[in-house]
A = this chain, B = another copy of it.
């Protein structure tokens, strides 16, 4: 596995690969890799000549009271996991390589962000859009791989690529779960033992909601109440949001129909977890 730390060297390498006619698959990560990240690589390897992973904890997408400093990091372990997964090039820039100066441009994401994490993390997706424009231009991928656990990120990247005409195809990859159903997340390490045993109930709650919808419930509030009660009964987590929206437009719904997302965020003592289910309802 090739490790590149300079933006210029990475871009030159990508340009060289493109000139040689190779396709590039790209999985952007913030490191502390888990099965979910590695699954992105597995799929990229199947669909591209060269697979690039980036590890960069992007300060711009953390709010002032969020966990940028505390975000888990273990670069040496990540290098081994990436190499074992088959990553061809690991892009591992320092902060000064990505932001040598204060950025001259601010990106304001107007659509698909007034809901879900966009509402509880103002500015988060502006930071995500900024780093992705940069990474797309440095790595020049044909395909980019994003996990569906952050479904809103997938929705925003979808519109970023379309709105700015990037010559890139977005490949959303299904959420990777522990055996008990908990969505894999770098932040899971911050759960206490008790919280870890409760955390699978987030997904179980989503499944309860999904079952109700499949049985014919069309009222979003009723479904949300089912999930809310289930999570309150089975965990000590503090519900940040439970929402049912159209996907990928993330519009609010009077009635449940079409392609929809049931998404939630729950705060435990040191970790805020997110999860979702997407389903298609044709009445």
Contacts and interface: CB of A to CB of B under 8 A. Distances in A.
Contacts of A104: 109-112, 159-160, 163
Given A106-B107, A110-B106, A167 B21 contact: no
A153 to B, nearest CB: 14
A18 B138 CA distance: 16
A142 to B, nearest CB: 9
Contacts of A165: 7, 11, 134, 137-138
A103 interface: yes
A111 B18 CA distance: 33
A145 B17 CA distance: 26
What does DSSP make chain A's interface, helix, strand, loop or mixed? mixed
A1 B152 CA distance: 43
A104 B166 CA distance: 14
A271 interface: no
A215 interface: no
A277 B104 CA distance: 24
Contact of A108 (B7, B106, B133): B106
Interface of A: 7, 11, 14-15, 18-19, 21, 101, 103-112, 129, 133-134, 137-138, 140, 159-160, 163-167
Given A104-B163, A133-B164, 18 more contacts: A11-B165, A18-B18, A101-B163, A103-B163, A105-B107, A105-B108, A105-B109, A105-B110, A105-B159, A106-B107, A106-B110, A107-B107, A107-B108, A133-B133, A134-B163, A134-B164, A137-B166, A137-B167
